[in-house]
Structure 1
Amino acid sequence: MIDHWRTFAAYNAWANRRLYGAVAALPPQDFARDGGAFFRSLRGTLNHLVVTDAIWLDRLRGGFTPPHQLDDVPYPEFAPLEEARAALDAALSAFVAALTPADLDRELSFRRQASPEPIRQRLGSALAHLFNHQTHHRGQAHALLTQFGGPEAGPPLDLLLYLRETGAA
């Protein structure tokens, strides 16, 4: 099962690199353009993913207090956001690489921003949520890319493509 999560961490970083490369190819004004997504724009959506991944990584490491609100935009400019994303993907990959099978059953304890009661969750199910959440919002960002730049603006992000390209299939 550990190999499963290591594959997802590597896939996550690969998909983010592809997505960010496509965003960089758009005209700069499209980065903050409101496209009607849940977090409105590519800037809002990609910042949300950085914020939530930072929160989850802190929780996975045993932290308890979220550093940001879910709709914060700590990186209003693309270049620093891209750097933060790459650093976060590297940190997440390193965290997952160090896990043992027993770690997946470790219980996390944290508080959600929306409610004060403590939450307890297994680390393995938290990883499932983190990677699924990434895929969900990457899909929204992909829709914005194709809305702004046409069908060719959105790169393929399929897990099967990643597995074939890396020889992990």
Structure 2
Amino acid sequence: MISPEYCLLMARYNRWQNAELLKSLESMTDADLRADRGAFFGSIFRTVNHLLWGDTLWISRFDGGMGPAETDLTKTDTTDTTKTLAEWSTERFRTDARFVAWAKGVTHLDLTGDLTWFSGAIQADISKPRAMCVVQMFNHQTHHRGQVHAMLGAADAPMYTTDIPFLPE
């Protein structure tokens, strides 16, 4: 299904996209970042916080490091991970480095078998193929960054390319 090379490519892509995203976020006022833009999580800032929360949760399932507690997600706010853009930027940088470090060590064996975890979304244990879960982790990032990219465009913030072929070496 996927390979270690795919994991490294996507981890590098994620880091690059988040660095480009930060440039756009830094051009905006705090009020603009927090304005309700009609998206699923409301604002740009709430959406990037949810993305950071989800990334930390998913990578903890693969690298065994710290992640947010898996509680009842119907009662947990996943959009208040950080309080300021500076704090978000610091945590984003750390998390992106964590993704790349994990991906550099991934082997074909790491992508086989099932991953089992307690799902806060359904309040039960769940098992799914590890490779599929890795794809989900990277797909979740792309999905929410796409939402943010659309909100940035609507807010006349600086835009950037999202195309993988332009990923810097």
TM above 0.5, yes or no, is: yes
Specify every segment of 5 or more residues in structure 1 that has no aligned partner in the other structure, as ranges. none
Count of equivalent residues: 162
Q: Which residue of 1 aligns with 2:32?
A: 30
Kindly indicate whether the alpha-carbon contact (under 8 Å) linking 2:50 and 2:80 is maintained by their aligned counterparts in 1: yes
Mapped to 2, the partners of 1:26 and 1:63 lie a distance apart of: 33
1:149 aligns with 2:156: yes
Mapped to 1, the partners of 2:65 and 2:115 lie a distance apart of: 9
Mapped to 1, the partners of 2:88 and 2:94 lie a distance apart of: 10
CA drift at 1:97: 0.9
**Which of 67, 78, 103 lines up with 1:71 in the alignment?**
78
1:117 aligns with 2:119: no
What's the RMSD between the two structures over aligned residues?
A: 1.9
The C-alpha deviation readout for 1:72-126, integer Å capped at 9, x for no partner, is: 3121210100110110010111111111111100421111112232111222211
| AA in 1 matched with 2:127 | R
**Which of 96, 105, 119 lines up with 1:89 in the alignment?**
96
Kindly indicate whether the alpha-carbon contact (under 8 Å) linking 1:31 and 1:42 is maintained by their aligned counterparts in 2: yes
| AA in 1 matched with 2:124 | E
Kindly indicate whether the alpha-carbon contact (under 8 Å) linking 1:9 and 1:89 is maintained by their aligned counterparts in 2: yes
Mapped to 2, the partners of 1:103 and 1:70 lie a distance apart of: 31
**Which of 38, 41, 50 lines up with 1:39 in the alignment?**
41
> Which TM-score applies when normalising by structure 1?
0.88
SS in 2 for 1:119: strand
Distance 1:4-1:65 versus aligned 2 partners, 3 A rule: closer
Kindly indicate whether the alpha-carbon contact (under 8 Å) linking 2:34 and 2:46 is maintained by their aligned counterparts in 1: yes
The answer to which of 78-87 and 65-74 deviates more is: 65-74
Q: Which residue of 1 aligns with 2:73?
A: none
Mapped to 1, the partners of 2:40 and 2:88 lie a distance apart of: 19
> Which TM-score applies when normalising by structure 2?
0.88
The C-alpha deviation readout for 1:25-45, integer Å capped at 9, x for no partner, is: 123321111111111111110
Distance 1:63-1:22 versus aligned 2 partners, 3 A rule: closer
Kindly indicate whether the alpha-carbon contact (under 8 Å) linking 1:143 and 1:154 is maintained by their aligned counterparts in 2: no
Identical counterparts, % of pairs? 30
CA drift at 1:67: 2.0
The answer to which of 55-64 and 84-93 deviates more is: 55-64
| Structure richer in helix, relative to its length | 1
Mapped to 2, the partners of 1:109 and 1:65 lie a distance apart of: 15
Specify every segment of 5 or more residues in structure 2 that has no aligned partner in the other structure, as ranges. 71-75
